[in-house]
């Protein structure tokens, strides 16, 4: 704004002020329905009414009406530079100007920054001269109920002011020392230089004593091009090193850590002369990050083998939920080992739900300030409690509509973590064009300014979702890095490297498979792969024929392809590489990475199509590839087959089709010293498991299966652990189908297939194959108890369990008696509730052609249950009888009795016909305080025992043997006891005290006749 424009504008404002004052003699007030503000500095709308202010003070006031202006007056007492800052209310755009006299024509300076930015003015001042500062709204709409703050600094002899904006930056030279001041709240000093060549610059900032100033650098005159900073604490020198490019201007900004840090003396700033960098970067500055997946022992083993290559471990452990909570648990063993090796550990946080990335989950979190805050606090707690170096945010698939929210989330996360020294790495999908960037939720420039590192997912160029091709071709990776390094400082970028391949079935696109690089040699050897090099993608591939005749094409990585892509780290001066994932790599992988990072060992692209690959001739398996249902080797009943598990995690699948109903035996003989297992599935579906056997080393695995006609069955052979494989063959043998067993209740092996039964009935059925189980169900009509009996076939040991509702987690009871013993299982039931009874063999050998018998008792109702503990004891009274049941072999009933007086009590028990129940009594709720018992043979037990006043006694009824229970009731009778008080002279009865606490009092007339009987107590 020019001086003439300022005079015209202020004159217009004065006219408005005069008009307003004509209609109001009261102080200037603005109000709405809820609040009213009082501007105590008013009237200060003209030079004569200017409010006198002092240096080193803040003043809070209002632009409270349209056209309002506030004027402040300051008289300098010395020569120097004087700084003033204006902080407008949130969302408002106020401006400030200064005049050298009480005259609108004496304009000296002004600041008209936009809304939410600090307006700063620094002017030279002379002693005993008055200066006038004018605050006003940028236009007629700029006024507010919220106050602004005007800060006046200290007069400093600061020859560099004004230098608070990028346009005012002071040009500086290397190896010179600059002394200046942060002289007011919100002050910042900006310096600039233009690099003459490519290289490194180091900037040093020394804060004044007791003050904490920080320093940042920006490329070009743009706040969005942040490069580096140093924010060491009070008393520590800030040192900041960053790369520069020839001909580019850089801006160094010095500022206080917060609004209270200013004054107190001068700071010093200097930067060292340019240190030229070689075109290729120093290997020692490049870092290798490796992703580790908990629960994978091979990942743990490879980490321990290759820890010397890895400086940073990215532990892909944690997920989020819709409440902002973090789920997952890391391996303490891996954490401890990594720290012992000096490896920094980052927690990887993903938006995975049900084993898949969920964009909606991430979008829910980042679009809610509350959920963002909750997640950020949970991240902070996780990192600090577990001792992580930082966090890797890997949120994938977010809609670009949420770009601003994702950026805001990362900024808030960094704001929380960085003061604690915790780092933030963000994973970014591959992008090569601005059009593609617009389809992602990444604001690359902002991300580069915010986070510490950006991990590029430079892989999955091709996969099961596409036609066959390189997983990450060289030129495609180069294009990704070139584009993104134009948005993000290259020294923040981590190049992603894949340690896996894809195996395309060219005859069945639905069967493309993910393949770790450490399986390439095995696959190529057993399938006799034909290898070649593709110059266009700079990647290797090979073809082979599957066991079912399907043609396959495998795109993978080798020493050369990994080395070439790793060389891009030097080309673009990237921070390093990040490998997905540890445990997939082949033996040459880490050395190829290290060699690719060495500037002196750079190689040229390979133009030949020839590729030498040496198969391992010791890996012979004529049945490979047969790792999938679609490639299962067809076998026939009555034959034996030799094959191999020739590599860790190998599995072989065989298929046979039954032409009749019956049983078939499958036997597996492992090689000497090996422990292989076998499972069978009905149809090509992993969920249709039928049976399995996992006997130990040196033992034959044997299965007896029930089969149906015209149905496919799949036999799967695998090692018990990753180390169970070798060059010696195993034998799998199939018997002939045996017909004859007719199980009319089948299929009833799942809760959904349960057979409906009725109480009081008996059912005969079979466990006809290994792993068979039969399930029955009934619904109770009322509350009570049901007893189920199971009679196993001769020489067999079957067991029985019961579940409430169709849920395996709602187990109620079981019976596991041995061979030749009947299993008896009583359990309580609730009205209108379904119960599921499961019959099964104790082990895999317990099945056969003979039937078992399952009997269901009638529903018994015991209104006193539960009363099997002292706490649940049923309270009884003297002189009463009680009927109840012992409804299972382990049932016992406990009754409690309170005596109010001293004496003796008799308790009798009548057992049901043919049953022998016993009775005992305990003083207080303690099994060690036994008093008496009766275990007479026959139906009647009776016991008499002494009682004390105000004492509880517990009477326990139980069966003499495990068979003494049933649906008939017993009778428990509690005797009465009383103390009779007589007048020995008159021979009259004065009162009776009963054991239950009642007292009966008698009153007589002079003739000795009873005239009143009074009952006292319960």
Does the structure show a pLDDT above 70 at 277?
Answer: no
Are 328 and 245 in the same domain?
A: no
Looking at residue 258, what DSSP letter applies? S
Cβ–Cβ < 8 Å for 27, 39:
yes
Torsion, Cα of 212, 216, 221, 223 (10° steps): -90
User: Regarding beta strands 711-719 and 676-682, do their DSSP bridges make them parallel or antiparallel, or are they unpaired?
Assistant: antiparallel
pLDDT value of position 278: 38
Q: Residue 565 sits in a domain of what CATH number?
A: 3.20.20.80
| Distance, CA of 381 to CA of 468 (rounded, Å) | 44
Instruction: Indicate whether 306 and 437 sit together in one domain.
Output: yes
- How far the first Cα of the chain sits from its last, in Å, is 100
**Of the candidate ranges 286-290, 948-952, 970-974, 1012-1016, the one whose mean pLDDT is the lowest:** 1012-1016
In a domain, 514, yes or no: no
3-state helix, strand, coil in the chain (%, to 5): 15, 40, 45
pLDDT at 338: 95
The 3-class secondary structure across 177-193, one letter per residue, is EEEECCCCCCCEEEEEE
| 346 beta partners | 314, 390
The confidence score (pLDDT) of residue 769 equals 63
Cα 460 to chain centroid, rounded: 25
**What does DSSP assign to residue 34?**
S
Assess whether pLDDT exceeds 80 at residue 811.
yes
One domain, residues 638 and 686: yes
| Residues 6+ positions from 823 with CB-CB distance below 8 Å | 789, 790, 791, 792, 798, 799, 800, 815, 816, 817
Torsion, CA 863, CA 866, CA 869, CA 871, rounded to 10 = -90
8 has pLDDT over 70:
no
Q: What is the pLDDT of residue 1018?
A: 59
- Tell me the per-residue pLDDT of 287-324, one tens digit each, with 9 for 90 and over: 999 999 988 888 899 999 999 999 999 999 999 999 99
Backbone angles phi, psi at 301, to 5 degrees: -60, -45
Reported as a pLDDT band with limits 50, 70 and 90, residue 741 is low
Cβ atoms 726, 746 nearer than 8 A: no
Does 237 reside within a domain?
A: yes
Res 284: pLDDT = 58
Residues belonging to the chain: 1018
Q: Are residues 101 and 213 in the same domain?
A: no
Helical spans, DSSP H, in 329-473:
332-340, 359-366, 369-386, 403-417, 434-437, 444-450
Per-residue tokens: 938: 């026959």
Q: Please count the CA atoms within 13 angstroms of the CA of 321 that sit on its side-chain side.
A: 6
If you search the block for the tokens 């948005």, which residue do you land on?
487
Residue 164 counted as domain residue: no
Residue 588 shares a structural domain with residue 450: yes
Q: Contact, 551 vs 507, CB < 8 A?
A: yes
Q: Residues 202, 185: one domain?
A: yes
In a domain, 609, yes or no: no
Asked if residues 76 and 125 have their Cβ atoms less than 8 Å apart, the reply is yes
| Residue 553 within any structural domain of the chain | no
Q: Which domain holds residue 587?
A: 297-499+558-601
Q: Are 853 and 764 in contact (CB under 8 A)?
A: yes
Q: How far is CA 777 from the centre of its chain?
A: 39
Mean local confidence (pLDDT), 145-162: 83
How far is 28 from 25, CA to CA, in rounded Å?
Answer: 9
How many domains does the chain divide into? 7
Q: How distant, in Å, are the alpha carbons of 234, 664, 665 from that of 702?
A: 74, 11, 7
Phi and psi torsions of 436, nearest 5°: -65, -35
**Predicted confidence band at 7 (pLDDT cuts at 50, 70, 90)?**
very low
Q: Does any domain span residue 226?
A: yes
**Residues 865, 869, 871, 873, Cα dihedral to 10°:** 50
pLDDT at 583: 94
Please indicate, yes or no, if residue 521 is contained in any of the structural domains.
Answer: no
316 and 416 fall within a common domain: yes
CATH of the domain at 239: 2.60.120.380
| Furthest CA-CA distance within the chain | 138
Give residue 38's pLDDT band: very low, low, confident or very high (50, 70, 90).
Answer: low
* DSSP 8-state symbol, 522: H
Residue 720's CB: how many other CB atoms inside 10 A? 15
Strand partners, 665: 704
> Confidence class of residue 27 from pLDDT cuts 50, 70 and 90?
very low
**Residues with Cβ within 8 Å of residue 117, at least 6 apart in sequence:** none
Q: Which of 107, 126, 157 is the last residue of a domain?
A: 157
Q: Is 323 left (phi over 0), alpha (psi -120 to 50) or beta?
A: alpha
807 plus 760 within the same structural domain: yes
Q: Each residue of 100-127: pLDDT tens digit?
A: 988 999 998 888 888 888 888 878 788 8
At 271 the three-state DSSP class reads strand
Query: Is residue 338 helix, strand or coil?
Result: helix
* pLDDT at 206 > cutoff 80: yes
Give per-residue burial for 584-617: e unless 16+ CB within 10 Å, then b. bbbebbbebbbbbbebeeeeeebeeeebebebee
User: How far from chain centre, in Å, is Cα 51?
Assistant: 58
CA 593 to CA 408: how far, in whole Å? 35
785 versus 521: which is more confidently predicted?
A: 521
Distance CA 513, CA 509 (A): 10
Contact predicate 144/62, CB 8 Å: yes
Tell me the pLDDT band of 281, cut-offs 50, 70 and 90: very low
Same domain, 306 and 444: yes
Strands 662-669 vs 352-353: parallel, antiparallel or unpaired: unpaired
> How does the average pLDDT of the chain come out, rounded?
87
Claim to verify: residue 343 and residue 488 sit in the same structural domain: yes
Question: How far is the C-alpha of 988 from the C-alpha of 1013, rounded, in Å?
Answer: 13
Q: What is the pLDDT confidence band of residue 940, given thresholds at 50, 70 and 90?
A: confident
**Residue 439 in contact with residue 429, Cβ under 8 Å?**
no
């169709």: which residue's tokens?
Answer: 806
Of 687, 685, 713, 715, nearest to 702 by C-alpha is 715
Does 314 share its domain with 461?
yes
SS3 13: helix
Three-state DSSP at 888 gives coil
Q: Is the pLDDT of residue 14 over 60?
A: no
φ, ψ of residue 919 to 5 degrees: the values are: -145, 145
Q: Does one domain contain both 313 and 260?
A: no
* pLDDT reported for residue 740: 64
Whether the CB-CB separation of 480 and 487 falls below 8 Å is answered with no
pLDDT of residue 176: 87
Q: For residue 776, is pLDDT > 70?
A: yes
What integer pLDDT is reported at residue 989 of this predicted model?
Answer: 82
Average pLDDT for 688-695: 89
> Once rounded to an integer, what is the mean pLDDT over residues 897-917?
90
In this structure, is the dihedral angle defined by the CA atoms of residues 467, 470, 472 and 478, taken in order, positive or negative? Answer: negative
Name residues whose C-beta falls within 8 Å of residue 949's C-beta, 6 or more positions apart in sequence.
899, 900, 901, 902
Supply φ then ψ for residue 517, to 5 degrees: -60, -30
Average pLDDT over residues 259-283: 67
CA distance 129 to 835: 97
pLDDT tens digit string along 498-549?
A: 999 999 999 988 889 899 999 999 889 888 899 999 999 999 999 998 877 8
Residue with tokens 């020569």: 79
Q: Which of 540, 536, 529, 532 is nearest to 563 (CA)?
A: 540
| Location of structure tokens 């029985």 | 800
Confidence label for 778 from pLDDT (cuts 50, 70 and 90): very high
Question: Sign of dihedral through CA atoms 964, 966, 968, 974?
Answer: positive
User: Is residue 390 included in any domain, yes or no?
Assistant: yes
Under DSSP, the state recorded for 738 is B
pLDDT at residue 995 greater than cutoff 80: no
pLDDT band at 407 (very low <50, low <70, confident <90, very high): very high
Partners of 170 in beta bridges: 191
Can you give the pLDDT at residue 185? 75
User: Rounded mean pLDDT of 77-91?
Assistant: 86
Say whether pLDDT at 563 is over 80: yes
């Amino acid at each position: 704004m020019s001086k003439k424009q300022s005079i015209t504008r202020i004159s217009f404002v004065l006219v408005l002020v005069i008009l307003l004052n004509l209609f109001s003699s009261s102080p200037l007030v603005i109000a709405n329905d809820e609040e009213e503000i009082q501007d105590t500095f008013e009237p200060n709308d003209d030079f004569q009414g200017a409010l006198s202010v002092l240096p080193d003070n803040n003043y809070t006031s209002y632009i409270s009406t349209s056209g309002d202006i506030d004027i402040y007056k300051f008289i300098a007492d010395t020569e120097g530079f004087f700084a003033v800052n204006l902080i407008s209310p949130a969302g408002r755009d106020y401006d400030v100007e200064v005049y050298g006299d009480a005259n609108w024509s004496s304009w000296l300076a002004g600041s008209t920054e936009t809304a939410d930015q600090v307006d700063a003015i620094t002017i030279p001042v002379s002693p005993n001269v008055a200066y006038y500062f004018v605050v006003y709204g940028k236009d007629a709409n700029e006024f507010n109920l919220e106050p602004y703050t005007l800060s006046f600094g200290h007069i400093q002899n600061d020859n560099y002011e004004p230098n608070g904006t990028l346009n005012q930056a002071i040009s500086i030279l290397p190896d010179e020392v600059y002394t200046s001041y942060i002289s007011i709240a919100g002050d910042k000093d900006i310096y600039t230089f233009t690099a003459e060549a490519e290289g490194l610059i180091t900037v040093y900032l020394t804060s004044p004593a007791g003050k904490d100033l920080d320093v940042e650098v920006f490329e070009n005159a743009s706040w969005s091009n942040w490069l580096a900073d140093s924010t060491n604490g009070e008393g520590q020198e800030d040192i900041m090193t960053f790369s520069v490019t020839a001909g580019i201007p850089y801006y160094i900004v010095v500022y206080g850590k917060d609004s209270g840090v200013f004054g107190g003396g001068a700071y010093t700033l200097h930067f060292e002369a340019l240190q030229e960098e070689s075109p290729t970067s120093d290997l020692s500055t490049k870092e290798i990050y490796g992703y580790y997946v908990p629960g994978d022992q091979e990942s743990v083993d490879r980490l321990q083998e290759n820890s010397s290559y890895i400086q940073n471990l990215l532990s892909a452990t944690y997920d989020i939920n819709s409440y902002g909570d973090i789920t997952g648990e890391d391996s303490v063993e891996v954490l401890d080992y990594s720290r012992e090796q000096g490896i920094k550990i980052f927690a990887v946080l993903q938006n995975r739900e049900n084993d898949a990335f969920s964009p909606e989950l991430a979008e829910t979190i980042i679009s809610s300030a509350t959920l963002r805050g909750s997640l950020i606090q949970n991240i902070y707690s996780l990192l600090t409690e577990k001792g992580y170096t930082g966090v890797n945010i890997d949120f994938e698939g977010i809609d670009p509509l949420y770009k601003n929210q994702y950026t805001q989330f990362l900024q808030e996360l960094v704001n929380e973590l960085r003061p604690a020294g915790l780092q933030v790495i963000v994973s970014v999908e591959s992008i090569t064009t601005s059009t593609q960037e617009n389809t992602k939720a990444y604001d690359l420039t902002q991300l580069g300014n915010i986070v510490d590192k950006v991990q590029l997912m430079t892989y999955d160029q091709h996969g099961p979702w596409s036609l066959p091709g390189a997983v990450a071709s060289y030129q495609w990776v180069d294009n990704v890095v070139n584009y993104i390094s134009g948005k993000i400082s290259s020294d923040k970028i981590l190049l992603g490297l894949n340690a896996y391949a894809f195996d395309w079935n060219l005859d069945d696109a639905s069967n493309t498979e993910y393949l770790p690089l450490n399986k390439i040699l095995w696959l190529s050897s057993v399938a006799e792969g034909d290898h070649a090099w593709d110059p266009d993608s700079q990647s290797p591939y090979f073809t082979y024929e599957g066991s079912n005749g399907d043609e396959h094409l495998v795109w993978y990585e080798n020493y050369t392809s990994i080395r070439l892509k790793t060389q891009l780290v030097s080309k673009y001066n990237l921070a390093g590489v990040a490998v997905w994932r540890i445990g997939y790599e082949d033996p040459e992988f880490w050395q190829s990475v290290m060699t690719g990072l060495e500037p002196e060992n750079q190689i040229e692209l390979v133009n030949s199509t020839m590729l030498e690959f040496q198969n391992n001739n010791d890996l012979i398996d004529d049945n490979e590839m047969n790792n999938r249902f679609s490639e299962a080797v067809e076998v026939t009943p009555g034959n034996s087959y030799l094959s191999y598990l020739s590599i860790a995690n190998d599995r072989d699948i065989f298929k046979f089709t039954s032409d009749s109903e019956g049983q078939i035996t499958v036997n597996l003989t492992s090689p000497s010293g090996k422990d292989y297992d076998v499972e069978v599935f009905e149809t090509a579906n992993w969920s249709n498991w039928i049976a399995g056997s996992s006997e130990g080393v040196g033992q034959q695995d044997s299965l007896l299966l029930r089969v149906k006609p015209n149905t496919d069955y799949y036999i799967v052979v695998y090692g018990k652990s990753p180390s169970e494989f070798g060059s010696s063959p195993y034998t799998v043998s199939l018997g002939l189908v045996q017909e004859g067993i007719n199980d009319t209740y089948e299929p009833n092996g799942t809760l959904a297939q349960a057979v409906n039964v009725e109480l009081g009935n008996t059912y005969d059925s079979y466990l006809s194959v290994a792993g068979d189980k039969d399930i029955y169900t009934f619904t109770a009509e009322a509350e009570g108890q049901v007893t189920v009996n199971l009679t196993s076939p001769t020489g067999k040991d079957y067991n029985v369990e019961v579940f409430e509702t169709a849920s395996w987690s709602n187990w109620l009871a079981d019976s596991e008696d041995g061979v030749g013993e009947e299993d008896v299982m009583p359990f309580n039931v609730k009205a209108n509730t379904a119960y599921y009874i499961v019959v099964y063999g104790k082990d895999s050998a317990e099945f056969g052609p003979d039937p078992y018998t399952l009997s269901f008792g009638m529903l018994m109702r015991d209104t006193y249950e539960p009363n099997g503990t002292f706490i649940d004891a049923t309270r009884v009274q003297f002189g009463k009888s009680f009927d109840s049941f012992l409804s299972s072999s382990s049932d016992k009933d406990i009754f409690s009795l309170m005596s109010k007086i001293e004496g003796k009590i008799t308790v009798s028990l009548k057992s049901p016909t043919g049953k022998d129940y016993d009775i005992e009594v305990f003083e207080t709720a303690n099994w060690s305080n036994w008093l008496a018992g009766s275990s007479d043979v026959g139906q009647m037990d009776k016991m008499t025992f002494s009682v004390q006043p105000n004492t509880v006694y517990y009477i326990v009824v139980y069966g003499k043997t495990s068979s003494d229970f049933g649906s008939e009731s017993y009778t428990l009778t509690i005797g009465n006891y009383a103390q009779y008080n007589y007048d020995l002279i008159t021979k009259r009865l004065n009162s009776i005290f009963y054991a239950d606490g009642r007292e009966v009092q008698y009153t007589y007339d002079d003739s000795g006749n009873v005239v009143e009987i009074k009952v006292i107590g319960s």
